[in-house]
Each structure stands twice: as C-alpha cells, then as structure tokens.
Amino acid sequence: MSINYIQDMTKGNEVKLLVQFSLPMLIGNVSQQFYNLIDSIVVGKYIGANALAAVGATNSLNFLCFSICLGLSIGISIIISQYFGAKKDEDVKRAIANSVYVIAVSGIIMSIATACLARPILRAMNTPPEILADSTAFLRIVAGGMIAVAAYNAIAAILRALGDSKTPLIFLVVSCVLNVILDLLFVLKFGWGVAGTAFATVISQGMAALGCTIFACIHNPYFKLKREHLKVSWPIIHKCIKIGIPVAVQNSMIAVSLVALQSVVNGFGEVAVAAFTATSRVEQLIQQPFNSLGAAMSTFAGQNMGANKLERVRNGYHKSIYIVAAFSLMALLAAQLGGRAIMKIFVDDEAVITLGAKAIKITSCMYFALGMIYITRGLLNGTGDAFYAMINGFVEVIGRVGFSSVLALIPAIGVWSVWATTGLTWLITAVASVIRYKQGKWENKSLVTSGNLS
C-alpha cells in the first residue's frame, strides 16, 4: 500500500507531526484568505464601498448555509480518522463511499433552501436598502453552487483524516488562482459587479472539488473502492449523522450568532458594515494558523483515540498551546501597531479606515483566547465528544447575542459594541472549551474501541 498520500499520526514526535500536518493547511488557508482579501479589494476599490458592504452582509448567512454540509464533513472525517487509527481499512472505505450520499443530499437541500429564502432573510437582518439587491444576488448565486463547495470540503476532510494535508492544498491553491483570474475577468472586463465575484467563487470551487476527487481516486489507496464498498450502509450513514449533526448544529448556532451580530452592525449604517467586513477579513486571516493547528489536532486526536493512545493526545494538546501563545503575541503586536495600514489595503474611505483601525485593536487583545478555541475544539471533536459541540455553539450564541444586545444600548460604547462582542465571545468560549477538556469526558468517547458506533 502506497504511503505517499497517508500519514499515521499514532507514532512519532507529536509537535513535528502537528506542524508538518498544519503547514500545508496553513499555506492553503492563507492562500484562500488572500483570495478573499483580493476579492474585497476588487469589490471595494473597483465597484465601491456599498458593493463591499453588500458582500459582507452575506458572510454570516453563507456560513450558516454551509454549516450542515461542513458539519457532516467533519463528522465523516472524525469517523474515518478513528477507523484509520484502529487499522480498520474496510470500514474506512465504506465510510468514504457512504459519505458521498450524505454530502450530496445535504448540499442539494441547503442550496434550494438558501436560494428561496435569501431575500426575506436579508430583509429580516435589517440589511440597508442600498445594498439589498446586490446582497441577494450574491447569496443566490453562491447558494446555487453550494454542492460544489460541500463536495470540495468533504473530500478535503476525508484526505486530512487519513493524514494527507498536501493534496487538498494543491487544489485549493489552484482554485484560489483561478478565482482571482475569474474575479478580475468578470468584474473588470465583463462588468458583472458583485454577481461576478459570486460566479468566480462557485466555478473555482467546483473545479477544485472535481480535481481533488479525481486525484484521490487515482493515488490514494483508500479511494480504490470495490462494489461492496459502494453499497448504501445505513449503520455508517447513521454514524456520520450521529457525529456530524452535533458539529453541524454547533456551526449553525455560531452562524446564527453571527447573523444576529451582523444585524446589529447593519443598524449602524454602511460605514460600520464596510468596516466590519474589512476587519472580518483580517480576523479570518489571523485565524488561519489557529484553524490549521486545530484541524491537525482533530486528525491527531482522532487517529490516536482509534489506537487508544490517550496520553499521546494530551501531550499533543499541551504542546500546541505554546504554538498558539507565540503566534497570538505576534498578531497582537501587528494589529496594535499597524491598524490603519491594514485598513488602507481594503478601502480609501477615511471614515471606514478610522473605524476599522480602532476596531482591530479591540479584538486583537483576545487572539490567544481565539487560538485556544481552535485547538481545544479540534481535540474534542476529533475524539468524538459530540456533546461538546452543542456546548460550544450554545456559548457562542449567548455571547454574541447577549453582549451585542446589552453593549449596543450603552451610548458610551455604541458602534464599538460590535467588536467588543467579538472579543468577549472568544473569551467565554475559550473558557468553556478548556473546562470541558479538563473534565476529561472525552477520554471515554472513542468511536471504534468502546462500541459507541456499533
């Protein structure tokens, strides 16, 4: 069996494995975020601040729409990583085959629902009338291509569960380059405006999904499926749903909290929406090292839980905290000293620049807490602690809805309540996550050695 496209993380130096696994993901995620930056620059500078606000007003809804598909992908990857760690190769193949059915159905349902409900939901979110039409068009186009986004994320999650973080990187980078090219073509050459950026996203994601799937079928031994692997297995589908739905609900609850916060932002007008969109792009970039390390921790924890190596899981987690601390300190210094320079990358509007520069200084104080969320979430999800996912989502809803509702009513805080809410939500979510880890309930959640999924 070829070992070029799989990685056994149940043996070897923990830090080395986590870093080696994280780096390709980090490169890919940063590439994607740089595309998002370029997308924001193209929209903000060549279409206008209102267009940037129109795209930004859909961010939380896009995340909500993808939540179920992404959650199921994560659930599938957790199961596969534990089967892989337990050396149950036939179960790995059956899980891969049946994951296709789960993702296809969920992707189609979310696509139809989003396209139909886009405008009513955006209106309910108090989206400014000036940007409502563009926001609706953008959301509907992206919804139409949701199956492509779901497919890519599913195949990438499966490959990472098997220890391969390089193949998804290759196709993600190709996708980002194609996305930029199509962005410039559709917006600057064809003059399609906001709709052009949406079409560019859908097409590039579809190509990434197709290319990644074909490559995996050719090179990864676990994708060489036989007819018996392709049979519908309701026990495996049930396992995918049992683990994936709580993660999907977690993501959905986080998305709902973001929708609630976006509604508060919209109430402060176009300048606030544009500033929030720009600072959100910055935060997404800052989150990528944490996100990559958290994904590495999830695969690491999953494989080692399957192999029943709990102490190894603990060691990997404790060492990853030092990595989080180092990066969060560097990011804090950059945000505090270079806020205005960062904002000028996105827009020329002085009001937006001033507001965004101060906002970044607020949220950067909680970067360490943000990093702790990612690595703790990765460990707990990877071990199969489905109930934690519900706790995590619930805490984020309470934080964003509660803090924004209270702080926005205080005149002295006003618009700053938006970014204060973000930072405080990160803090309480990090505390809740660490408490859950300390309780040790994850130690008994193995999906393949305890019979929990039998």
In a domain, 32, yes or no: yes
pTM of model > 0.95: no
Q: pLDDT at position 4, please?
A: 60
Q: pLDDT at position 315, please?
A: 94
Q: pLDDT at position 74, please?
A: 80
In a domain, 8, yes or no: no
Number of domains in the chain: 1
Give residue-wise pLDDT tens across range 307-342: 889 999 999 999 999 999 999 999 999 889 888 888
In a domain, 415, yes or no: yes
In a domain, 4, yes or no: no
By residue range, what is the domain housing residue 216? 19-444
Q: pLDDT at position 375, please?
A: 95
Q: pLDDT at position 2, please?
A: 43
Rg (CA), the chain: 21
In a domain, 233, yes or no: yes
Residues 6+ apart with CB under 8 A from 347: 44, 45, 49, 52, 274, 278, 353
Report, as ranges of residue numbers, the positions in the chain whose pLDDT lies below 70: 1-4, 33, 35-36, 447, 449-454
Q: pLDDT at position 452, please?
A: 45
Q: pLDDT at position 89, please?
A: 87
Q: pLDDT at position 142, please?
A: 86
In a domain, 12, yes or no: no
Give residue-wise pLDDT tens across range 146-161: 888 888 888 888 998 8
In a domain, 360, yes or no: yes
Q: pLDDT at position 451, please?
A: 45
In a domain, 453, yes or no: no
Nearest to 277 by CA among 65, 393, 135, 92: 135
